[in-house]
Amino acid sequence: MSLFRLLCALSVLSILSGCFTRSSLAEPKDDFRLNEEVCVFGPNCLNLDKFFPIRSEDSSPYEFYINDIGQLTTTTGGGDFGLLVFERPLEDFVLTAQFKVPEGSFELANSGIFFGFIDPRIPLEDLTPGETWPSDWRSQLLNRTRAFLAAWTGVEVQLLAGARANEFEPSTQNGRFYGEENQIMHSEYRLDPGERYSVRVEKRGSRERVWMRWLGEENQNPDASETLVSELNRSNSESPRFGYLGIQSYYNNDGDFRALLFESLTLRLP
């Protein structure tokens, strides 16, 4: 082999080896493997047919619907919470939602975003209870609400406002992964009555994060920066969550317990 050919070969090998160095393996971009965007509802879309409802058993029949001012709501009812569940299970996603906190003085406004839970439509005879399920799990699912399966088998991003919101334990306050003791609580985020906010929940492999952003009373602050509120990294011994995603509703009850009013929802999917 001539000296010229030897130098060329060495140059090619050097270039190829550089392609596989650790420093050249950049972090995936924000849209990595999330190529599909689903506008579920909002000013420019309405695709609630991609979701199915899980209703409370001990309240009057109700439905999720978009009211005349574009907010996701339910018919008035009492009892346990319901869920609006996306049509298929997911492993990775980015959910972005805009919501308004009720006006006035009240004790609690509560909602949440559940993900990673089993199909709540599974027949009771096909369910195998987990170690943390209550002993009367069958009765609760049959007589109260199948939405409990989301709480027992998935994780909840808590959305909470009102006079009593700060009385909750730190791991169950607004913007937290409800009750998850291993989460990183980056910042506290208070929701004020009458104001609008956005929440972004990102699930990417074993990394789960929540951001929140204040939009103002009449969306006068659309360019405000997001605040990273909470982060949860599952250990290497745990497999990444794979399951269903749902929006929690406690209905529009009168009195001290009120629903947060969702005004838009967008999903980015693999």
> Would you give per-residue pLDDT tens digits along the chain (270 residues)?
554 554 444 443 343 343 333 232 233 344 456 788 999 999 889 888 999 988 766 555 557 788 888 888 776 555 567 889 999 999 999 999 999 998 888 888 888 999 999 999 999 999 999 999 999 999 999 888 899 999 999 999 999 999 999 899 999 999 999 999 899 999 999 999 999 999 999 999 889 999 999 998 776 666 788 999 999 998 755 666 799 999 987 655 555 667 788 999 999 998
DSSP state of 27: P
What's the half-sphere exposure (Cβ side, CA atoms, 13 Å) at 83?
26
**Distance from chain centroid for Cα 46:** 19
How far is it between the farthest Cα atoms of the chain? 89
The structure tokens 């929440």 sit at: 199
pTM: 0.83
The answer to whether the CB of 177 falls within 8 A of the CB of 192 is no
**256, two tokens:** 């001290």
**130, two tokens:** 């987990």
Query: Other CB atoms closer than 10 Å to residue 77's CB: what's the count?
Result: 20
Task: Please name each of the domains of the chain with its CATH number.
Answer: 28-269 (2.60.120.560)
